[in-house]
Structure 1
Amino acid sequence: MSSSSAAPKGPTAADALRRNRILSSKLYFDVPGSKAPVVYSAAYDIAFLGIEKLHPFDSSKWGRICRFLTAEGHLEKNRVIEPLEASKEDLLVVHTDSYLNSLKSSFRVAAIVEVPPVTLIPNWVVQQKLLYPFRKQVGGSILSAKLALERGWAVNVGGGFHHCSAEEGGGFCAYADITLCIQFAFVRLNISRVMIIDLDAHQGNGHEKDFANDGRVYILDMYNAGIYPFVAESRFQPQLIVYNAGTDILDGDPLGNLNISPEGVVIRDEKVFRFAKDQNIPLLMLTSGGYMKLSARVIADSIINLSQKNLIQLGSQLG
């Protein structure tokens, strides 16, 4: 017979190491009030000898979103925040050393991003042209959680790699940025309840695996159950919402197999941001999946709508 009077387990050596890595990370840094909580780097975009065109994902989507916003006068370029690249020590907060070492194999990376010719590329090129942009986006997701707590909202124009878990990548997702940003938030932002709202067309099987037994994380995941590998309960008062706002739900998307109109995506995002604002919950938005050229325009239009509805503030009056 098991005893119910056993003392609760204290922090393990692994917990202490994770905490020390988080506390020594440079990914959190102070951002002046003159900047908008919109995180992006030109390094997000993937230009990989044309091989990126062999995957349906629009690997220049992130830059096109920002160009729409800046060229049309909604966001000044100098108000966008440049994140740092997530280092190996940062990634080890969640990932195993063996998993990160596996990415030194171009064959393994090719399987994760679902582009077989990547197997033939020297790994140093794969690291520079493919994995470095992903690591910059991870840095952006982690920093965006801090900004969301400070400003009430933040948008990482990238990230949302929800098919990657601590030990396994897949579905064009090499690093678990959602898990990482939440683990950083637990330690650096002193919060203990996070809600993930995942409205990408696919299941967020990566973060679901990582947080399956963690009562601090409440996951609301709506997806097309017929296309990718399956959620939430009772009253939960989150201190942060991580919103995975994939646009692969758009009508015509080759991988989403749903038929949501551009206007529907704009309304979806507005509902999520309005819910967060009404409940006074900081919200971090990640752009996640979206496999048509149209996605960048729709995301930009949605961000513009959020600004026009006063759910976010892109203008220079932001303090």
Structure 2
Amino acid sequence: MRSYRIFSHLAKVLQHNSVKTSTIVGRVQIGWPLISLPVTLSFDGVEGKWGQRLKSYLQKPILAFVPGPIMGDTSENTSKLDSQTASNQSPVSQDDSKPTERMQTLQEHLTQRTDEHNEEQSRQNTQEPSEASAACSSGQPNTKVQKTEPQDRDGASSEQPHKTHLFVEVADHQWPIVYSTEYNIGFLGMEKLHPFDSGKWGKVFQFLREEGMLSEATIVRPLEATEADLLVVHSSSYINSLRWSITVAGITEVPPVALLPNFVVQKKVLKPLRTQTGGTILAAKLAMERGWAINVGGGFHHCSSDRGGGFCAYADITLSIKFLLELGLIKKAMIVDLDAHQGNGHARDFMDMMDKVYIMDVYNRNIYPHDGFAKRGIRRKVELDFFTGDEEYLDKVYNHLKKALEEFEPDIIVYNAGTDCLEGDPLGALSITAEGIKNRDQIVFEFAKKERDKPIPVLMVTSGGYQRNNARIIADSILNLRQKGLIGCQAAEEHQAKRKKKTGSSGSPSSPESATTPSSGASSPTSPTSGEPRRGLLDWFKR
């Protein structure tokens, strides 16, 4: 009954001001904010410039229709308008073509607000931005990112200098490995309704800490990406759509999420994803500074600027590349997507930038998302069949990556290292062993580090993986890269050694740090047993 009264009240307000209404645009929450329903509004009785302005003003996602002023306008004029309208029981005839005095008051108010907004935008556009690349290289927060083109698809902002707090200061003794406890998702057990292990990221960190590689002092903790950060790529209409639980339920593929109040969804679902997105953006800058970086989370490759899906709500890969381009740190980038699913999100985003962003995608052609349009954005498309095994898979990864790097010389490789290609994965439907995944990751890093005079920085994100043992495999692969000398941080190793000496740790079997440090025989350029140069996977493929 309350929803009917709300609709009736809004209709009377608009009819009283010579506005013909048939339906209502936006979304309305029934009773306590549990369920939101989409509705639409048409303004047949309003014409010309004022009509367009009123349509633009009201046709936006609305938190709730409530008796009172039109949503988004809290001025005294509209408050008076509402109170006067509520007391008037006889609406003006719709045949009267002249606007009422109240309509003129509202029109003048909105015109004034629009003019003030335009003046503010013009004043900001004339301000000189600081040198973004110089500020970024210092490693200090509050870095300005100069937008090179309008990013807000709805025209809310254009060519504005963007301030971000994501680029936190990183000490020399910290690994370029990004993780936060805020990554992990949990909301009343509903996360278990999806096969994705929403606590995978914390398990990866725990395994690496047990192995003696990481500690709380040597990990880099990211900040949550703000709305201003997200608008570098995303449209404001898409960001606003995430304020509705039913939208998030569709993206996460967990229908009961639609029944939760949106403030719960924001905190328990979207905030962790925004923090992981901030981690990917930070890791991209770290990769350019250190030569490599790993975000323990991220890899939301199904999300584009204006649509989400497949548990991907924010386009972190697109954002990381856009930030680097706008900072002037890179001119060209390559995305190597080895998740079992097609990376349709970033393919859509960079479809008009294929000269700057080269995408190589190896995926199972028979599974989600079947996005034929997005395939146009993939420069090197490698489609696999069900249950492809190690030998065929690794051979294709090696040969196609070799050809891709011959065709294109990137300034950074963004490596989407999804582990849903693991045998037994309910969604990936491939048959790659745990050892095959370790070898795959090693191939990518060896191509970037060993096969050229100037190594290519690598940003690795962990993406999909829908089995409980995925975290262990990701950790083992990172340890393997460290053991092979493909990643390293001498200052972090020394800090960890001093910490162990100070605490008197003797090195338990579960923490074999002595066997995996860069100074040990396992990571030496020569084999500790034969004295011969240790061959990498690329040497094996060449033979």
Q: Could you state the TM-score of these two structures normalised by the residue count of structure 1? A: 0.93
In structure 2, how many angstroms separate the alpha carbons of the residues matched to 1:289 and 1:19? 34
Q: Relative to structure 1, is the Cα distance of residues 318 and 176 closer, same or farther in structure 2, using a 3 angstrom cutoff?
A: farther
Q: Deviations over 1:238-286 (max 9, x none)?
A: 0011000000000000100000000000000000011111230000000
Shifted more, 239-248 versus 187-196: the winner is: 187-196
In structure 1, how many angstroms separate the alpha carbons of the residues matched to 2:260 and 2:226? 23
Q: Relative to structure 1, is the Cα distance of residues 263 and 12 closer, same or farther in structure 2, using a 3 angstrom cutoff?
A: closer
Residue number in structure 2 paired with 1:5? none
**Is 1:122 matched up with 2:261?**
yes
Residue 293 of structure 2 aligns with an amino acid whose one-letter code is A
Which residue, 243, 246, 256 being the options, matches 2:415?
243
Which residue, 225, 231, 240 being the options, matches 1:86?
225
Residue 178 of structure 1 aligns with an amino acid whose one-letter code is I
Shift of the alpha carbon at 1:32? 1.2
Residue 220 of structure 1 aligns with an amino acid whose one-letter code is M
Q: Relative to structure 1, is the Cα distance of residues 267 and 13 closer, same or farther in structure 2, using a 3 angstrom cutoff?
A: closer
Shift of the alpha carbon at 1:96? 0.5
Contact 2:151 2:232 in 1 (8 A): no
**Is 1:307 matched up with 2:447?**
no
SS in 2 for 1:141: helix
Q: Stretches of 4+ moved more than 3 A in 1?
A: 11-19
Residue number in structure 1 paired with 2:271? 132
For this pair of structures, how many residues does the alignment match? 307
Shift of the alpha carbon at 1:314? 5.2
Q: Relative to structure 1, is the Cα distance of residues 12 and 164 closer, same or farther in structure 2, using a 3 angstrom cutoff?
A: closer
Q: Deviations over 1:158-185 (max 9, x none)?
A: 0000000000000000000000000001
Q: Relative to structure 1, is the Cα distance of residues 61 and 151 closer, same or farther in structure 2, using a 3 angstrom cutoff?
A: same
In structure 1, how many angstroms separate the alpha carbons of the residues matched to 2:334 and 2:318? 12
Q: Relative to structure 1, is the Cα distance of residues 100 and 14 closer, same or farther in structure 2, using a 3 angstrom cutoff?
A: closer
Q: Deviations over 1:90-122 (max 9, x none)?
A: 000000010000000000000000000000000
Residue number in structure 1 paired with 2:426? 254
Which residue, 220, 242, 250 being the options, matches 1:103?
242
Shift of the alpha carbon at 1:30? 2.7
Shifted more, 162-171 versus 221-230: the winner is: 221-230
Which residue, 174, 193, 196 being the options, matches 1:54?
193
Aligned pairs for 1:8-27 within 5 A = 12-14=149-151, 17=158, 20-21=161-162, 24-27=163-166
Shift of the alpha carbon at 1:145? 0.6
In structure 2, how many angstroms separate the alpha carbons of the residues matched to 1:266 and 1:295? 12
Shifted more, 90-99 versus 308-317: the winner is: 308-317
Which residue, 436, 443, 450 being the options, matches 1:271?
443
Residue number in structure 1 paired with 2:93? none
Contact 1:240 1:282 in 2 (8 A): yes
**Is 1:220 matched up with 2:392?**
no
Residue 430 of structure 2 aligns with an amino acid whose one-letter code is L
Q: Relative to structure 1, is the Cα distance of residues 12 and 145 closer, same or farther in structure 2, using a 3 angstrom cutoff?
A: closer
In structure 2, how many angstroms separate the alpha carbons of the residues matched to 1:318 and 1:18? 45
Aligned pairs for 1:201-220 within 5 A = 201-214=340-353, 215-220=355-360
Q: Relative to structure 1, is the Cα distance of residues 314 and 63 closer, same or farther in structure 2, using a 3 angstrom cutoff?
A: farther
Contact 1:146 1:189 in 2 (8 A): no
SS in 1 for 2:407: coil
Shift of the alpha carbon at 1:65? 0.3
Identity %: 56
Shift of the alpha carbon at 1:84? 0.6
Residue 366 of structure 2 aligns with an amino acid whose one-letter code is G
SS in 2 for 1:313: coil
**Which runs of 5 or more structure 2 residues have no equivalent in the other structure?**
1-147, 381-403, 496-543
**Is 1:63 matched up with 2:235?**
no
Residue number in structure 2 paired with 1:157? 296
Residue number in structure 2 paired with 1:285? 460
In structure 2, how many angstroms separate the alpha carbons of the residues matched to 1:19 and 1:148? 26
Shift of the alpha carbon at 1:19? 6.0
Residue 248 of structure 1 aligns with an amino acid whose one-letter code is D
Contact 1:18 1:93 in 2 (8 A): no
Q: Relative to structure 1, is the Cα distance of residues 157 and 318 closer, same or farther in structure 2, using a 3 angstrom cutoff?
A: farther
Q: Relative to structure 1, is the Cα distance of residues 314 and 260 closer, same or farther in structure 2, using a 3 angstrom cutoff?
A: farther
In structure 2, how many angstroms separate the alpha carbons of the residues matched to 1:314 and 1:42? 22
Q: Relative to structure 1, is the Cα distance of residues 18 and 128 closer, same or farther in structure 2, using a 3 angstrom cutoff?
A: farther
Q: Relative to structure 1, is the Cα distance of residues 172 and 271 closer, same or farther in structure 2, using a 3 angstrom cutoff?
A: same
Shift of the alpha carbon at 1:188? 1.8
SS in 1 for 2:474: helix
In structure 1, how many angstroms separate the alpha carbons of the residues matched to 2:449 and 2:432? 24
Shift of the alpha carbon at 1:190? 2.6
Residue 425 of structure 2 aligns with an amino acid whose one-letter code is D
Q: Relative to structure 1, is the Cα distance of residues 175 and 75 closer, same or farther in structure 2, using a 3 angstrom cutoff?
A: same
SS in 2 for 1:310: coil
Residue 277 of structure 1 aligns with an amino acid whose one-letter code is K
In structure 2, how many angstroms separate the alpha carbons of the residues matched to 1:193 and 1:314? 26
Residue number in structure 1 paired with 2:178? 39
Contact 1:307 1:314 in 2 (8 A): no
Q: Relative to structure 1, is the Cα distance of residues 314 and 50 closer, same or farther in structure 2, using a 3 angstrom cutoff?
A: farther
